[in-house]
Amino acid sequence: MTLETNLFDIWKDYYAKSSSYFDETIKENFPSQGIAQVMEMNLMYKKLIDESTEKYLEIVNIPSRTDLANLSSLVVNVDAKVDNLEELLEDNSTNQLDLSSFKQELTAIKKDMKNLDSKMTQIINLLKVSEGSK
C-alpha cells in the first residue's frame, strides 16, 4: 500500500512541477504580438474579400445577402400595409351593411307610423261620430 501511495505522490509532484514549468514558459515566450498581427492581417484580408465580393456581385448583377435582407424587409413592410388596407376595407363594408340595415329599419318604422296614423284617424272619426250622435 505504501508503494501505491508513493506512486501517487510522485505523480502528483510531477504534475505540479510540470504544470508550473509550462505556465512560466508560456508566459515568457508566448508570441502575443505576433498573434495580434496575424489576427489583424486576417481581419484586413476578410474585409478585402467582402468588399471585392460585393463589387463582383454588383458587376454581375447578382443580389448579395444585404440586398436580399433589404428586399425582405421591404416586402414585410408592404405586407403590413396591405393588411392595414384589408382591415379598412372590411370596416367600410361592415359600415355599409350597417347603413343598409339602418335604412331598412327606418323604412319599416315609417310604414308602422303610417299605419298608426291611419288607425288614429279612424279612432278620431269614430269618436266624432259617437259624439255627434249623443
Query: 71-80 pLDDT, tens per residue?
Result: 999 999 999 9
The reply to whether 91 falls in a domain is yes
The reply to whether 43 falls in a domain is yes
Domain count, the chain: 1
The reply to whether 90 falls in a domain is yes
The reply to whether 1 falls in a domain is no
Residue 2 confidence (pLDDT) above 70 = no
Residue range(s) defining the domain that contains residue 74: 8-132
- The cell numbers describing 119, all together, are 288607425
pTM, two decimal places = 0.43
- Among the residues of 1-134, which ranges form H helices? 2-29, 32-59, 65-132
The reply to whether 21 falls in a domain is yes
Of 78, 50, 75, the C-alpha closest to 64 is 50
Segment 79-86 shows an average pLDDT of 92
The reply to whether 3 falls in a domain is no
The reply to whether 2 falls in a domain is no
The reply to whether 123 falls in a domain is yes
C-alpha to C-alpha distances, 114 to 15, 103, 108, nearest whole angstrom: 111, 17, 10
